[in-house]
Structure 1
Amino acid sequence: MPDLTAPVLPAGTFSGAPQPTVPAAGGLLLRPFTPGDAPAVHAVFQDPAMHRWHLRSAGSQEEVAGWIAQWHAAWEADREAQWAVTEDDGAGRLVGRVALREVRLADGAAEVAYWTVPDARGRGVAARATAALARWALRETGFHRLELLHAVANEASCRVAARTGFVLEGTKRRSGLHADGWHDMHLHARVAGD
């Protein structure tokens, strides 16, 4: 049965080219993860705040190296895109991560996710990286809709969403299972033209 509409983005939108490096405001750079990032990512996942708001734990640097390999494979499969957020100062210290998950190219939609290293929190890193990612996805790549979900209790994530133009659309009741149980989740979104 033929579709009545054409795909918003074609297959190969990611895999048809190398993952780009994207500049962000305030001296940040979004770049593809490398195997050399495994120790820093592993260290971040030892932080108790990561255990509170994220669903994964990292048992070893080798496990994280496996994640990085999976992230590269996901780009090649047009499923997701993960960027290391680094300081663009020559040293390139990892200060966070920003990603497009749950990518649906035909619908032109994806979910934005992010985290920051403990000593980068409160400096606007997540907001600057998210703004750069949204610009790349909506304006440069042609996505139509980006969603951002966070636990209602995660007020810092709510502030990031608001500062980066993600409109609060509602609350998904008891839809996020975290280590401490079910959480209501805020659903924010940006669409092309916002």
Structure 2
Amino acid sequence: MTVIATEPPSAIAGQTVVLRPTTPEHVPMFLEILRHPEIVPWWGGYDLERVRRELLGPHGYAIELAGEVVGLILYREETDPDHRHAALDLALHPDQQGQGLGCDALRAMARFLFNGRGHHRVTIDPAAHNERAIRSCARAGFRPIGVMRRYERSADGGWHDCLLMDLISDDQP
């Protein structure tokens, strides 16, 4: 039987990155990441208040590499016992992409959600045209489930498709 942690851990270690619970000190770097021109198409519309409201709290973690914040990862939980699972979102500074850091962060968070929070399934839903994110999720062990049509609002106000992917605890790499 898995014990569900009530307090978030002070750190979740990956092979290369460390995930730390978000604090107000992370806000300036999160704003820098989310306002980067390469990130805005996927995470558009973040200002100071939205970062504070949505990214600080028990389900938000800073992704650190050698003590420096390089990204953020969030989880949401469905706690209904018949549908219990968690969902992830991740943003990594473009200067740090292509090094396996996002994959490492996804794997570390998935392990925490399986072993520390008692989930058996974790999902993620990158934009269907975000090939880099899809490849990173696949390297972390996530499998495509299907396309969710017009699922997410784009930075330009329109809607785009997202690819639903999941990882089951039995499939952990």
TM-score using structure 1 length: 0.78
Partner of 1:191: 168
Counterpart pick for 2:26 among 30, 34, 37: 37
Counterpart amino acid of residue 137 in structure 2: A
Q: CA deviation at 1:46?
A: 2.0
Partner of 1:5: none
* Partner SS for 1:153: coil
Counterpart pick for 1:71 among 56, 76, 91: 56
Partner of 1:105: 79
* Partner SS for 2:152: strand
Percent same amino acid among aligned pairs? Answer: 27
How far apart, in 2, do the equivalents of 1:18 and 1:112 lie?
16
How far apart, in 2, do the equivalents of 1:38 and 1:147 lie?
25
Counterpart amino acid of residue 62 in structure 2: A
Q: CA deviation at 1:9?
A: 8.5
The verdict on how the C-alpha distance between 1:173 and 1:41 changes in structure 2, with shifts beyond 3 A counting, is same
**Deviation digits for residues 3-53 of structure 1, max 9, x if unmatched?**
xxxxx999xx46x32444100112x10011122112211211221122101
Q: Which has the larger radius of gyration?
A: 1
User: Runs of 5+ in structure 1 lacking a partner?
Assistant: 1-7, 76-80
Residue pair 2:62, 2:72 contacting (<8 A) in 1 also: yes
Partner of 1:148: 124
Q: How does 1:80-119 map to 2 (within 5 A)?
A: 81-87=59-65, 89=66, 92-101=67-76, 103-106=77-80, 107-119=83-95
* Partner SS for 1:48: coil
User: Runs of 5+ in structure 2 lacking a partner?
Assistant: none
Residue pair 2:107, 2:140 contacting (<8 A) in 1 also: yes
Q: CA deviation at 1:140?
A: 3.5
Counterpart amino acid of residue 86 in structure 1: E
Residue pair 1:174, 1:185 contacting (<8 A) in 2 also: yes
The verdict on how the C-alpha distance between 1:153 and 1:124 changes in structure 2, with shifts beyond 3 A counting, is same
How far apart, in 2, do the equivalents of 1:146 and 1:161 lie?
11
Residue pair 1:95, 1:117 contacting (<8 A) in 2 also: yes
How far apart, in 2, do the equivalents of 1:66 and 1:113 lie?
16
TM-score using structure 2 length: 0.86
How far apart, in 2, do the equivalents of 1:19 and 1:127 lie?
20
Counterpart pick for 2:42 among 53, 57, 76: 53
Counterpart amino acid of residue 64 in structure 2: T
CA RMSD of aligned residues (A): 2.3
Count of residue pairs the alignment pairs up: 168
Residue pair 1:96, 1:117 contacting (<8 A) in 2 also: yes
> Are residues 1:158 and 2:147 paired?
no
Dislocated runs of 4+, deviation >3 Å: none
The verdict on how the C-alpha distance between 1:99 and 1:113 changes in structure 2, with shifts beyond 3 A counting, is same
The verdict on how the C-alpha distance between 1:56 and 1:65 changes in structure 2, with shifts beyond 3 A counting, is closer
Partner of 1:170: 146
Residue pair 2:2, 2:118 contacting (<8 A) in 1 also: yes
